[in-house]
Structure 1
């Protein structure tokens, strides 16, 4: 999993991530990885519209976002 996260960070790519929180809740997040630090990584979460730190071992799946969704105004 760490290799996929590093690759996404190096290519400046958005990813959809399935993540288990400390409380055991599974969430889907769209993120842009900012930096990797030990067993965790910092990213911008588009769901929360803020920077968040995630633990690599709690990541269930990562899928690259191949296209950006367009908003209808």
Structure 2
């Protein structure tokens, strides 16, 4: 998981993330990783429209966001 976070940060790509919140709720968020620490990541969260800190152990799944060529042009 950490390797995928670092790659996303280096390539400046977005990720769809399934995250377990402190209160036990599972949320899906689209993020852009800014910084990867030992236990947490700093990322821009498109759901909250702000920079947020996420605990790496609470990240349940990560999927790279792929853009179709048609969407870019």
State TM-score, norm by structure 1. Answer: 0.89
Query: Structure 1: any 5+ residue segments left out of the alignment?
Result: none
What's 2:33 paired with?
33
Higher helix share: 2
- CA–CA distance in structure 2, aligned partners of residues 36 and 5 of structure 1: 7
Number of matched pairs: 69
Residue 38 (structure 1) shift:
1.5
2:42: which partner in 1?
42
Runs of 5+ unmatched residues, structure 2: none
Equivalent position of 1:24 in the other structure = 24
The structure 1 segments of at least 4 consecutive aligned residues displaced by more than 4 Å after TM superposition are none
Q: After superposition, what is the alpha-carbon deviation per residue over 1:15-46, rounded to whole angstroms, capped at 9, x for unaligned?
A: 00000011110000000000012210100000
Look up the match of 1:53. 53
- Equivalent-residue separation in structure 1 for 2:56 and 2:30 (angstroms): 15
Correspondence for 1:62: 62
